[in-house]
Amino acid sequence: MRTPDFLDDVRKAVWSINPNVPRQGVGPLSEFMAQSASVDAHLLALVLLGIAAGIAVILGLVGVYGVISYAVSQRTIELGMRMALGADARRVRTMVLREGSSLRWRA
């Protein structure tokens, strides 16, 4: 068990030169490497999870856009009639977005 004695000698030598050096985090390199590998594995898992979550959000947005686009394409004649009878584009757009957000489309 020469490691603790060796570490005590290193600490004393460093602190004799500069007593302001932090006294935490002194240990064998193998311990630091083991902690670093654990942190790296967790970081990789979090990055991959974040990428998967981002892809899921993008797929969800594309799906919602597709459903609303399909519903609007089915109602093109009705929307054209509304505009022909005097509804302005802003009112029609508001109606489409309101009905699309509440999913109250007619079959």
Domain spans, the chain: 62-107
Whole-number pLDDT of residue 62: 95
CA 25 to chain CA mean position, Å = 32
More confident residue, 89 or 26: 89
CB count, 10 Å around CB of 75? 16
**Dihedral of CA 55/56/57/62: which sign?**
positive
Whole-number pLDDT of residue 57: 97
Whole-number pLDDT of residue 14: 79
Do 73 and 96 contact (CB within 8 A), yes or no? no
What letter would DSSP give residue 25? S
Check whether 28 has a pLDDT greater than 80. Answer: no
Residue pLDDT, tens place only, 52-102:
999 999 999 999 888 888 888 888 899 999 999 999 999 988 888 888 777
